[in-house]
Amino acid sequence: MRNEGLGSWPARRARKTPHRTALLHDDSAVSYAGLHDRSTRLAHALRAHGVRRGDRIGYLGPNHPAFLEALFAAGLLGAVFVPLNTRLAAPEIAYQLTDSGTRVLLHAPSHATLAADACRIAGGDDENGGPGRIAVGGAAYEELLATAAAEPIDEPVAPDDTAIIMYTSGTTGRPKGAMLTHGNLTWNAVNVLIDHDLIAGEIALVSAPLFHIAGLNMLTLPVLLKGGTCLLVGAFDPAGTLDLIERHRVTFMFGVPAMFDRIARHPLWSNADLTSLRILTCGGSPVPTPLIATYQRRGLTFLQGYGMTEAAPGALFLDAEHAVTKAGSAGVPHFFSDVRVVRPDLTPVDVGEPGEVLVRGPHVMPGYWGLPEESAAAFADGWFRTGDAARVDADGYVTIVDRLKDVIISGGENIYPAEVENALLAHPDIVECAVIGVPDDKWGEVGRAVVVLREGAAPDPDGVLASLAGRLAKFKIPKSVVAVAELPRTASGKLLKARVRSQYGAPP
């Protein structure tokens, strides 16, 4: 094959295990031979729609086989796949369509109105310069595939060619499109295969959104590369998750801590059959120690990690062997990753000294779409600058402390909110929390805890603060507590600190 990218994966897997189940969705199954056939037919249909090498193909919709068919079809044509966040508003989606220059937008029937509104804002219909639209996942889509050609497509695609443009969450302003190459995605999948010990018999529950890099490339693509089965779920639901684990004997799932917490708090948790689960990976934010203990009582251990979209995404990984002894750590670099923690002058930090995390490896993006200056600024001597602060222990294990921009400087002392948040989560009445800095006449700024309380719990700010005494230095303890119904998060579960600050950061 001349195609060395993702587009060739279904054909390569189909020649090895054609009858093995690749995808499950709503009790229907797609074999690897079927995935190859459907991706090829969709590629022909897109070509008939005018898509050529380098063109961008957008996708808007929940987890569904059509998402992966579109990803592989784009790869067959040498086109670039642009997954779009279904939780965004039409103007936000329009910005990404315009910024990426998307030629065709594939969308689920459930998102037809949103797709139409976004395309209209982005420039009208395809005849007037805007993206064309194709509905996927319904009867018309099946007819489109049935009438499309099925001849093999073997465009030359190299590992360094751009495979996807995945927009960052925009927590710091306008989203930037991270350009991830076929090689970036493949090397990350190889890292997962090595460090997770994946087997061909994996049955992976994919409830994390595929339009985010962790759900796509810490779970789905590695499992498909190995020849396992991906059970696609349109939306996360704790009761549904427990049911699917039992019915399909799920072996592998990924989620953010908030997802795993909701599962453990569900009434079905105590009696659910979880014996098939072999791998639980958790990312997006540190896993609270009480949550780790809850799962350990069921004989389950989290495999934690750290990454970012720009690294496709894995950088650090904490295996099961060290999940308890190094709890709170993000682990050590993945097999084909390198990580450094440095001072502002880029010299290595000492043991226990906080510094910025730098990442390098074949899985790290070459840059941001259409932003050469921002791309250059994101790297230092070939290392990607994450903007995250971390400490390294004597054994080389890295603990993420916080975003550098989120550090609170109170009376000259640095306060890392993540450390305070982890301490707050040990309080029995606190389900979620975020610590932000607020102006203070004496200290410049002090901490404020914004907390979500357990159902039925009464707000007791003094009790919450008192629980931290003796566990944290006095200057680290927040000076105020605000109880809220929920914290703003992205679709992947990442906390939107900027929004928390804007809503709850006013001085007393």
Q: Is the peptide bond prior to 313 cis by the omega test (within 30 degrees of 0)?
A: yes
Q: Which of 314-323, 367-376, 423-432, 488-497 has the lowest mean pLDDT?
A: 488-497
Domains 6-158 and 407-504 share a fold: no
Backbone angles phi, psi at 3, to 5 degrees: -85, 115
Tell me the mean pLDDT in the region 92-115.
Answer: 95
Q: How many CB atoms lie within 10 A of CB 376?
A: 11
The percent of residues above 90 in pLDDT, for the chain, comes to 74
The tokens of 127 are what? 């005849």
Predicted local distance difference test score (pLDDT) of residue 7: 98
**For residue range 392-406, what is the model confidence (pLDDT) as tens digits?**
999 999 998 877 778
Tell me the mean pLDDT in the region 222-243.
Answer: 97
DSSP letter (8 states) at residue 9: H
Predicted local distance difference test score (pLDDT) of residue 89: 84
- Kindly tell me if the per-residue pLDDT of 10 is higher than 90: yes
Tell me the mean pLDDT in the region 47-76.
Answer: 97
- Kindly tell me if the per-residue pLDDT of 234 is higher than 90: yes
- Kindly tell me if the per-residue pLDDT of 147 is higher than 90: yes
For 24-35, letters b (16+ CB in 10 Å) and e give bbeeeebbbbbb
CA 167 to chain centre: 11
- Which pairing describes strands 398-403 and 383-392: parallel, antiparallel, or unpaired? antiparallel
In order, the DSSP letters of 76-90 are HHT-EEEEE-TTS-H
- Kindly tell me if the per-residue pLDDT of 347 is higher than 90: yes
- Kindly tell me if the per-residue pLDDT of 24 is higher than 60: yes
Backbone angles phi, psi at 250, to 5 degrees: -60, 135
Predicted local distance difference test score (pLDDT) of residue 450: 96
Predicted local distance difference test score (pLDDT) of residue 80: 98
d(CA 255, CA 241): 11
Read off the pLDDT band of 484 (50, 70, 90).
Answer: very high
Tell me the mean pLDDT in the region 116-120.
Answer: 93
Which distant-in-sequence residues (6+ apart) come within 8 Å of 444 by Cβ?
Answer: 409, 410, 411
Predicted local distance difference test score (pLDDT) of residue 105: 97
Question: Are 316 and 192 in contact, with CB atoms under 8 Å apart?
Answer: no
Predicted local distance difference test score (pLDDT) of residue 124: 65
**For residue range 169-195, what is the model confidence (pLDDT) as tens digits?**
654 457 899 999 999 999 999 999 999
Strand locations in 191-333, DSSP E? Answer: 203-206, 229-232, 252-255, 279-282, 302-307, 314-318, 332-333
**For residue range 417-472, what is the model confidence (pLDDT) as tens digits?**
888 898 899 899 999 999 999 988 778 789 999 999 988 898 899 999 999 988 88
Q: Crossing angle for the helix pair 32-48 and 139-147, nearest 10 degrees?
A: 80
The residue type of 366 is P
- Kindly tell me if the per-residue pLDDT of 113 is higher than 60: yes
Burial of residue 465 (CB within 10 Å: 0-12, 13-18, 19+) is middle
Closest CA to 46 of 35, 58, 34: 58
Predicted local distance difference test score (pLDDT) of residue 73: 98
Tell me the mean pLDDT in the region 21-41.
Answer: 97
Q: Is 305 helix (H, G, I), strand (E, B) or coil?
A: strand
Tell me the mean pLDDT in the region 69-79.
Answer: 98
N-terminal to C-terminal alpha carbon distance within the chain: 65
Tokens 């389900």, located at residue: 431
Predicted local distance difference test score (pLDDT) of residue 423: 87
Tell me the mean pLDDT in the region 313-332.
Answer: 90
Superfamily of domain 185-404: ANL, N-terminal domain (3.40.50.12780)
- Which pairing describes strands 132-135 and 203-206: parallel, antiparallel, or unpaired? unpaired
CATH class of 407-504: alpha beta
C-alpha neighbours within 13 Å on the C-beta side of residue 277: 23
d(CA 424, CA 453): 11
d(CA 80, CA 102): 9
Mean pLDDT rounded to a whole number for the chain: 92
**For residue range 328-346, what is the model confidence (pLDDT) as tens digits?**
889 999 999 999 999 999 9
More confident position, 313 or 495: 313
Tell me the mean pLDDT in the region 275-283.
Answer: 94
- Which pairing describes strands 102-107 and 56-60: parallel, antiparallel, or unpaired? parallel
Predicted local distance difference test score (pLDDT) of residue 495: 83
Predicted local distance difference test score (pLDDT) of residue 137: 86
The tokens of 223 are what? 């499992």
Predicted local distance difference test score (pLDDT) of residue 165: 98
User: How do the domains of the chain map onto residue ranges?
Assistant: 6-158, 185-404, 407-504
Predicted local distance difference test score (pLDDT) of residue 103: 95
Predicted local distance difference test score (pLDDT) of residue 173: 56
Predicted local distance difference test score (pLDDT) of residue 507: 67
d(CA 203, CA 29): 13
C-alpha neighbours within 13 Å on the C-beta side of residue 342: 15
Q: How many CB atoms lie within 10 A of CB 9?
A: 26
Read off the pLDDT band of 130 (50, 70, 90).
Answer: low
DSSP letter (8 states) at residue 218: I
More confident position, 303 or 251: 251
Predicted local distance difference test score (pLDDT) of residue 475: 85
- Kindly tell me if the per-residue pLDDT of 286 is higher than 70: no
More confident position, 326 or 338: 338
Read off the pLDDT band of 66 (50, 70, 90).
Answer: very high
Predicted local distance difference test score (pLDDT) of residue 168: 85
Tell me the mean pLDDT in the region 234-256.
Answer: 96
In order, the DSSP letters of 245-273 are HHHHT--EEEE-HHHHHHHHHSTTGGG--
Backbone angles phi, psi at 92, to 5 degrees: -70, -40
d(CA 317, CA 337): 10
Read off the pLDDT band of 491 (50, 70, 90).
Answer: low
Read off the pLDDT band of 289 (50, 70, 90).
Answer: confident
What CATH number is given for 6-158 in this structure?
3.40.50.12780
